A and B are shown apart, each in its own frame.
Chain A
Amino acid sequence: MIPTVAINWAVVEPILPELLLIGIGVLLIGLDIFVPRQRQVLPWLTVVGCLTTLAMVVGSRPSVAFGGMFLVDGYAIVFKSTCLAGVILTTLMSEHFCRIIGLRQGEYYSLMVFSAVGMLMMASAGDLMVLYLGLELMALPIYALVGLHKTEQRTSEAAIKYFLMGSFASALLLFGMSLLYGLTGTTDIARIAELIATLHLGNNPALMAALALLIAGFCFKVAVAPFHLWTPDVYEGAPTVITAFMSVSPKVAGFAIFGRLLFLGLPELHEHWGPVLAVLALLTMAVGNITALCQRSLKRMLAYSAIAHAGYALLGLLAGTAEGLAATMTYLIIYLFMNMGAFGILMLLATPDQPHESLDDCKGLASRHPLAAAMMLVFLFSLTGIPPTGGFIGKFYLLKAAFSAGYTLTVIGAVLFSAISAYFYLRVVRYMYMSESQQTISCSFSPGMTAALGLCLLGVLGFGFFPGPLLDWTTAALAGM
């Protein structure tokens, strides 16, 4: 009498990219255990696997699977591609950096791949349960990755801090979700929106509490002030390659679920979450940019800059329009390239016995290694938002979206803080080009690192000069929403 559900091809088809990635992850562990001498193929296998998945994701047809729990729409495809691009760039950089710091665990790559599976799940989540489980699936491998390099004291502290704050954020999220479930009786995000409209829950205080808890949880995950306190320590303590990964891919995935829940599930409440996010965005930009001014460590400065960029990305969300969401997506894609690039140059500076993370270490980089200095210059210009780099295009559309939605004060604040940020970004440029070199270490490029930095440079400059296709892609992706 129990009806059995036949698992056939049509059911499995939408999650094929995820299944492929899971297969790659398991294969990576197997190769590491059974063929330990061939470890050098692991990063390349990861890259090839992620590229195949990327191709499958981009080529997938829009569909709804598992009764609305798994959505493959344009929105999901853009976010999935961005996350996968982040994983690919990180993997390309990993080979070089792991050799320098002596990180040789083979599980490293499979953990990263499993984390990517979590991100894909998050981007496609149409149900609160899948959303939360995807989040945990993404976060768990990263906790392990942060603590993987056990010879350094800082990393263990960073890992435990990240784990505790991550669990705390998950608890807040779960509390908010349970209130939402209690009020509506469903975990389907689209159905929640319908029920809020039909039951006239728009001004219910309990729903407001749920919204507040959800926003707090999401802000923890994407490191938005005042929930950013864990970020600088964790980003500084983690191995630089993991920091680069953490500051991009999980953040993009976090924005994916943030946007999905707010736009698909709680559009009725825009008048409530719009102003709240505006205040949070202003606060984040202020905290990130002003604190970055007084950092002597380049890595910590980039950590604060990552916080500030989360604030910029919020500008598109708070507008509550499709235009704003498209601007956020565009910005996140450009941010992926420029932030990865800046961290990549930081990784080039590292040597086996010294991490070389302070600002003094980039003094005279231009005379030691003109190419690395020139690339850093482009990435820093882009992070500041100076044309003709991609950073300018991204920021411009964000500000435009927030402005046309009526958040004039927030836009003015964003421009001001952007101007402040020019000081600390360009200070690095000054050190690189106008100071005498103190060391004589030379940077060595590995094939993976060259490819990753080349891709980043191509992304930053390409989207700066020809932003049209990217904008068309993100705008078209939202056509169905």
Chain B
Amino acid sequence: MFTQIFFGYCALMIISSGILAISLRNPVHCVLMVLVLFFHMAGLYLTLNAEFLAAVQIIVYAGAILVLYLFVLFLVSLREELNLDAFVPSAWLGRIIAVGLAGGLLFVIPSFILGEKGVWSMSAIKELTHTKALGQEMYSTYLLPFEIAGLILLIALIGGLVLARREANIPLEPEAPEESQTCGHPNRKEVSL
């Protein structure tokens, strides 16, 4: 009973803080709303007995990533607001689509049935402790996705660096002649972060 009330509370908070995060005008408030959202996500993981995930959620997302967001917000001047043309011509059309989608998803929920159970039973996890079981699965069964995720992080790093770096001011020229290559080109210096 308590679990259900707790779940309802978390779900409600997640939805409302999510909506607030995209509708508030002040970016700092938006980030703080996302922080509330992350904490309640961690609460949801707790109801599923996933203590490790809950801890990671708070340490990594709330602790590290959001603080980075806040730093970016404070460093970037936000005086001018960006205005992009909307993809959907009218805001109401978008709202109707969103409500329709939500209604459709709510409609199908009653017919949802749980699929087959995995190999890890509750008692097996309790015996081995959650973190250990997770690590063991991650480095054996799910090794490939785990490594791809690592590669994605590398790409994100490179991509972020490339986009953040100021463009090198190289005057347009045909392929540099041989002597200028040996004596060094003053303009060929790139300014990195």
Annotate A374-411 by CB proximity to B: 1 below 8 A, 0 otherwise.
Answer: 00000000000000000000000000000000000000
List chain A positions with a Cβ less than 8 A from chain B. 2-5, 15, 22, 29, 36-37, 40, 65-67, 69-70, 102, 104-105, 107, 110-111, 114, 117, 121, 127, 129-130, 133-134, 136-137, 140-141, 143-144, 147-148, 150-151, 157, 159-161, 165, 179, 181-186, 195, 199, 201, 204-206, 208-209, 212, 229-230, 352
With known contacts A147-B163, A182-B112, A186-B115, A137–B148 Cβ distance under 8 A: yes
Option from A148, A159, A186 in Cβ contact (under 8 Å) with B116: A186
Contacts of A133 on B, CB cut-off 8 Å?
A: 145, 148-149, 152
Segment touching A, from B58-66, B68-76, B102-110 = B102-110
- Distance between Cα atoms of A183 and B143 in the complex (Å): 24
Given pairs A29-B158, A182-B112, 12 additional interface contacts (CB within 8 A): A2-B132, A4-B140, A36-B188, A107-B162, A114-B154, A137-B148, A144-B155, A150-B167, A184-B115, A184-B116, A204-B111, A205-B111
Contacts of B186 in A (CB 8 A): none
A141→B154 CA distance, assembly (Å): 10
Q: Is B28 an interface residue (CB 8 A)?
A: no
Q: Which residue of B lies closest to A179 (CB)?
A: B112
B108 cross-chain contacts in A, Cβ below 8 A: 205-206, 208-209
Q: A140-B155, A157-B84, A208-B108 are in contact. Are A130 and B114 (CB under 8 A)?
A: no
Inter-chain contacts of B78 with A (CB < 8 A): none
A-B contact pairs, 8 of them (CB 8 A): A104-B168, A111-B158, A129-B145, A144-B159, A150-B163, A205-B107, A209-B104, A209-B108
Q: Does B118 contact A (CB under 8 A)?
A: yes
Size bin of chain B's contact surface: 35 or more
B118, B142, B161, B172: the one within 8 Å of A185 (CB): B118
- Judged by a CB distance under 8 angstroms, whether B156 is at the interface is yes
Does the CB pair A102–B172 fall under 8 Å?
A: yes
Q: With A66-B143, A136-B152 in contact, is A185–B116 under 8 Å at CB?
A: yes
Listed residue (B118, B149, B151) with the most chain A CB atoms within 10 angstroms of its CB: B151
- Kindly provide the distance from the CB of B128 to the nearest chain A CB, expressed in whole angstroms: 9
Query: How far does the alpha carbon of A181 sit from the alpha carbon of B113 in the complex, in Å?
Result: 11
Instruction: Verify if B81 is at the interface (C-beta below 8 Å from A).
Output: no
Q: Is B87 an interface residue (CB 8 A)?
A: yes
Query: For residue A11, which residue of chain B has the nearest CB?
Result: B143
| In the complex, per-residue mask of B108-141: 1 if CB is within 8 Å of any chain A CB, else 0 | 1101111111100000000000001000100111
Q: Do the beta carbons of B163 and A144 come within 8 Å of each other?
A: yes
**Would you give the shortest CB distance from A181 to chain B, in whole angstroms?**
7
Contacts of A105 on B, CB cut-off 8 Å?
162
Q: Is residue B179 contacting chain A, with contact meaning CB distance below 8 A?
A: no
CB closest residue in chain A, given B154? A114
Nearest-neighbor residue (CB-CB) of B149 within chain A = A133
Chain B residue, CB-CB nearest to A233? B85
